[in-house]
Structure 1
Amino acid sequence: MNKILKILSILVIGFVMFSCSTSTNDPETPAPTPEVQTYSITFTVKDIVQHELADFLNSLPDYKNLKEGTEVELPTVIYLTQETNQVTLERTESSTNSNEIFYEGNITSVVIGNEDIEIKCWLDHGWSNLW
């Protein structure tokens, strides 16, 4: 009888400890979401004279915080509005000048992998001709 009581008391203690422990699958506590890794495209120029081109492209949010597997189209033409000296990727009624952008390897788009991307670019006649 004594052995049965000891075994029962051990089982009761084990059951109480098991039922009082916190569950890892508690529906009230949300599971931590893994941090999504993002990547960026950085533009560099072949000729330091055209550094304004790289500065302009690097200032655009379209090439920052990109998820892996995202395909990104690269701009191929840049426009200037002479009156305001505003450079855009879109032609407007007041666009007075345009220039073609070239990329090393003749690429026009890239797919984001698991690292940041650096792309060399240049204008066909130089940035000064765009002004």
Structure 2
Amino acid sequence: MNKIFKILSILVIGFVMFSCSTPTNDPETPAPNPAVPTYSITFTTEDSYIQIVVDYLNSLPEFKNLEEGTEVMLYKHVYLNSDTSEVTKEIVEISAIDFTVKYDNNSEIDSVIIGNEDVEVEISCEDLLQFKD
């Protein structure tokens, strides 16, 4: 009987120690990152006839939730499907029309480096003048 109490007490002590211990850090599990601020690129235009291109670029996830210091490449060409009026960044059909996108008053910028604020980029697309109302 005395041996049973010893075994039970050892089991109880082991259970208490196991349940009260703090978990060790697993080196394969990354530590949680503190909240890193993110920023976005927003495209704007003064020309209503290219709003379809602006809306398309603003819908792309690669221009959202960007950390400071990230370099983001900008698209030089977008394609308008003449059958569906859908804008894409890749040619998907023969009926697609290639449009050259120009940023910030027709400057030759290829990318934007994210600072500590949201970025607003004005676009123009002279190729779309033929679709102007």
TM-score computed with the length of structure 1 as normaliser:
0.68
Match of 2:122 in 1: 120
Q: Is the 8 A contact 2:52 2:87 kept in 1?
A: no
Residue number in structure 1 paired with 2:23: 28
Residue 42 (structure 1) aligns with: 42
Contact 1:52 1:127 in 2 (8 A): no
Offset from partner CA, 1:29-61 (integer Å, 9 cap, x none): 877641011110000013233222211110111
Cα distance in 2 for partners of 1:28, 1:128 equals: 66
Cα 1:33/1:49, change in 2 over 3 Å: same
1:75 aligns with 2:70: no
Percent of residue pairs bearing the same amino acid type: 44
Q: CA RMSD in A?
A: 2.5
What runs of 5+ residues in structure 2 fail to find an aligned partner? Answer: 1-20, 26-30
Runs of 4+ with deviation above 6 angstroms: 29-32
8 Å CA contact 1:73–1:109 kept in 2: the answer is: yes
Q: Which has the larger radius of gyration?
A: 1
- Mapped to 2, the partners of 1:107 and 1:44 lie a distance apart of 16
TM-score (norm 2): 0.67
Find the aligned partners of 1:92 and 1:40 in 2 and give their Cα distance: 27
On the 8 A contact 2:42/2:120 being kept in 1, the answer is: yes
In the superposition, relative to structure 1, how do residues 127 and 53 fare at CA in structure 2: closer, same or farther (>3 Å)? farther
Determine the structure 1 residue equivalent to 2:112. 110
Gaps of 5+ in 1: 1-25
1: CA distance between counterparts of 2:32 and 2:93? 50
Q: Does 1:129 align with 2:114?
A: no
CA distance in 2, matches of 1:65, 1:57: 14
Partner of 2:62: 62
The 2-side partners of 1:28 and 1:127 are apart by 64
Aligned residues: 105
